[in-house]
Amino acid sequence: MDLGAFSVSLSVKDIEASKLFYEKQGFAVFAGDQWQNWLIMNNGNHAMGLFQGLFDKNILTFNPGWDGDARQLREFTDVRELQRRLKNLGVNMISEADEKSIGPASFMIADPDGNAILVDQHG
């Protein structure tokens, strides 16, 4: 099951301080809007999001339809199909994508330790 590009979404207290810290580690902003309190940064094949005040805890994030550079893939498994497969395997959903929709959608699950996993399709 290919869930798409992987990143970590960090809940940060001060987005500017976090941005500056991760820039020292070689990360650079490539998407987002700091004035809306979110940035996406990458360092080679590694990506992470910084989110101030948008959620309480860190989240593991997968983006169906994106490669590691957030470029749209021609072929990928739609988020609704991934959701159906996981539900058929007995995975409980925290939130669900509308099965009747098309295009962007997301669902959220949690691992046995309560770590949130967001599967978020943008295109």
Task: Read off the CATH number of the domain in which 59 is found.
Answer: 3.10.180.10
First to last CA, the chain: 19
Alpha-carbon distance of 29 to 113, in angstroms, equals 31
Tokens of 107: 């669902």
Pairing of strands 38-43, 28-33: antiparallel
Number of structural domains in the chain:
1
pLDDT for 71: 83
- Run of H or E including 97: none
pLDDT for 122: 87
pLDDT for 68: 79
pLDDT for 48: 95
pLDDT for 123: 73
Tell me the pLDDT of the chain averaged across its residues.
94
Bridge partners (DSSP) of residue 68 are none
Bridge partners (DSSP) of residue 110 are 116
Residue 45 has pLDDT above 90, yes or no: no
Digit-coded pLDDT (tens) for 12-24 = 999 999 999 999 9
- Inter-residue contact 71 to 17 (CB < 8 Å): no
Cβ contacts of residue 89 below 8 Å, gap of 6+? none
Domain that holds residue 21: 5-121
Digit-coded pLDDT (tens) for 50-84 = 999 999 999 999 999 988 777 889 999 999 999 99
Q: Which amino acid is at 86?
A: L
Distance of CA 58 to the CA centre of its chain: 11
